[in-house]
A and B are shown apart, each in its own frame.
Chain A
C-alpha cells in the first residue's frame, strides 16, 4: 500500500468533496458572501480533509503492516484468520470473519489429507510386512529344492524383494529419524550379506564380485544395506555382456595426513552413464538412456539412495565413463571422537 494507491482508492470521496465545495461556494457567492470568506472556508475544508487523509492513511498502513508481520512470522499461513489484528472497522471485522471461515475449511482439508496419507503409509508398511512372509517361504522352498527352475525363481524372488524394499523405504524415507540405530558397522559384512541375497541373480548373469572393506564406520546397518543393494542392483542391470565384475572396497580419506573419513567405493565395468546424464541420476523419476534401452528403470532406486544418504549424513557421488564403467562413492564422516584411534 502506498500513498498513490491509497488516494486512488478514495477518488470518489474526493470528487464528492470537490462537488460539495463547489456547490457551497456557488451558494455562498450567490447569497452575497464575500469571495475571501469563501476562500477561507475552502482552505479550512481542504486542511481538515488533508489531516483526515493523513490520519486515515497512517492508520491503515499500520494495520496492514501488522498483518504482514503476522504473515511473515507464522509458518502455517493458513492460520492468518485466527491471528489478524483487531480493528474497529466493520469491513475489517467482516473480512476477518470470512477469512476465518475459509481458513477453517482449508485446515479441515489439510487434516483430512494428512490422515489419508498416514493411513496409506501405515497400510503400505503393514502390507510390506505381510508380503515378506510369502517371499520368505518361496526363498526357503527354492533353497531346499535346488534345481534349474528354482534357481531362476530365486533370482526373480530377489528382484521382488528388492522392489518391495523400495516401497517400504520410500514410505519411510521422510521419517528416517524415527527409525535408526547407529552402531559400528562392518561394511564388508553388510556388503557380503547384500551380495549373498541376490546370489542367484549374480551367478545367473556371470558377474563376479570382490569385496575388500577393512574399515568400519558408524552408521545404521539396515539403511546402508538398502543403499548398497540399490547401487549393486544398478551395476547388475547395466553390466557388460561378458566378464562383468563389481568391486566393493573402502579407502580412508586423508587430509594433511589425518584420517577425515571413510569412503566406500562400488566400482563396476558396466556400460557406464553418459556424461550429460550423470548429474541427474539421483533425481526422482530420472531413467536416462540406459533405463530405456536396457532393463526398465523405475527412476526410484538412486533417488532413494540420494535422499537417504542426505538424511544419514553420507556424501554420495558417482563417476562414470560410457562403455567403461561406473564408480559410486559413499563418503562416511568419522566423528572427532573416533579420530585419535584411527590415526
Chain B
C-alpha cells in the first residue's frame, strides 16, 4: 500500500504542483484546501506523514503542529519560506521531524520525505528495493554494484552503475540523454553529455566482455533503450 501524505499549504499553485509531484513519486496524497481546525482535518485523513506550511491563514503551522503532537506522533515536515534559524529551532521544538525551506529543490524534498518515513519505521515493507534487477539474462547486482551474465561478472564504477540502474528500471522505453543526465544529477553524479558517452562506451565494453551484445541500443538523436 502506498504511503499517505497530507499537504497543508495555502498557496493554491504550490499545493496543486506539490500534489502532482508526490503522486508521481507514487504517494497517496490529500491536499487540504480549508484551514479551519486544520489539525483535526489533517489527522482525520489518517496520514503517514504531514507536510505543513508555517504561514497559514488563521493559526500558524507551529500551533497546528502542537495540536497534532498532543494527540498523535505522525511525522511532520515543515515546509516554509521562513529562513530564520529561530523558526527552524521553533519547528523542531514543536515536534517537527524535518524542516524544508522554500524554494526547495524537488529531489531534496522527496529524499527528506523518504528519510523521515524510514526513520519513523512507517516505511517498513514499503517499496523495498530489490537486490538485483534482471533483463534478458543480464543481472544487475544492486548491493555489490556489479553486473553478471551466466557465470561471468564485471565490477562497475559508481557512474556506470547508476546509468545501468536507471536503464534497468525503465526497460523497453527510449530514454532521452537529457533525462538520463538529469537522473544522474539528482543522484549526485554531476557529469555532462560527453562524459555520459564515455561511460556508455565503457559499459558496452564491459558487456562485450561478458559476451552480451547489443543490450543497450542507441537511438541516434533520441537516446538509449535497453
Contacts and interface: CB of A to CB of B under 8 A. Distances in A.
A128 B83 CA distance: 10
A209 interface: yes
A193 B108 contact: yes
Contacts of B2: none
Contacts of A180: 85
B102 A203 contact: no
B82 A129 contact: yes
A207 B181 CA distance: 12
Classify chain B: how many residues form its interface, as a range. 35 or more
B21 A140 contact: yes
Interface in A208-227: 208-211, 220, 222
A123 to B, nearest CB: 15
Contact of B17 (A128, A141, A181, A195): A141
A61 B21 CA distance: 80
B13 interface: yes
A133 B14 contact: yes
A199 B88 contact: no
Interface residues of A, number: 38
A183 B128 CA distance: 32
Nearest to B84: A179
Contacts of A71: none
A161 B193 CA distance: 26
A220 B104 CA distance: 18
Nearest to B83: A222
Interface in A163-182: 168, 179-181
B188 A143 contact: no
Contact of A208 (B18, B21, B89, B191): B191
Contacts of B194: 206, 243
A243 to B, nearest CB: 8
Nearest to B79: A136
B185 interface: yes
A132 interface: yes
B182 A203 contact: yes
B81 A133 contact: yes
Interface in A182-213: 192-193, 195-197, 199, 202-203, 206-211
B58 interface: no
A199 B179 CA distance: 12
Contact of B186 (A196, A211, A220): A196
Contacts of A128: 81
A151 interface: yes
Given A129-B82, A139-B103, A143-B106, A210 B190 contact: yes
A32 interface: no
B190 A140 contact: no
A181 B88 contact: yes
A123 B194 CA distance: 46
Interface string B182-205: 100110101111110000000000
Given A132-B102, A140-B14, A211-B188, A196 B108 contact: yes
Given A135-B103, A203-B181, A211 B190 contact: yes
A168 B105 CA distance: 19
Contacts of A137: 11, 13-14, 17
A181 B92 CA distance: 13
A111 to B, nearest CB: 26
A134 interface: yes
Contacts of B72: none
B192 A193 contact: no
Contacts of B188: 192, 196, 211
A143 B195 CA distance: 24
Contacts of B81: 128-130, 132-133, 136
B86 interface: yes
Contacts of B20: 140, 144
Given A133-B11, A203-B181, A222 B85 contact: yes
B85 A206 contact: no
A129 B53 CA distance: 13
Given A140-B14, A144-B21, A222-B85, A208 B103 contact: no
Given A144-B20, A203-B192, A222-B83, A136 B104 contact: yes
B103 A203 contact: no
B178 A151 contact: yes
15 contacts: A128-B81, A129-B82, A136-B14, A137-B14, A137-B17, A140-B106, A143-B21, A144-B24, A151-B178, A179-B84, A192-B188, A196-B185, A199-B186, A207-B192, A220-B85
Given A132-B103, A196-B107, 14 more contacts: A133-B11, A133-B14, A135-B103, A136-B14, A136-B81, A136-B104, A140-B17, A140-B20, A179-B85, A196-B186, A203-B178, A203-B182, A208-B192, A243-B194
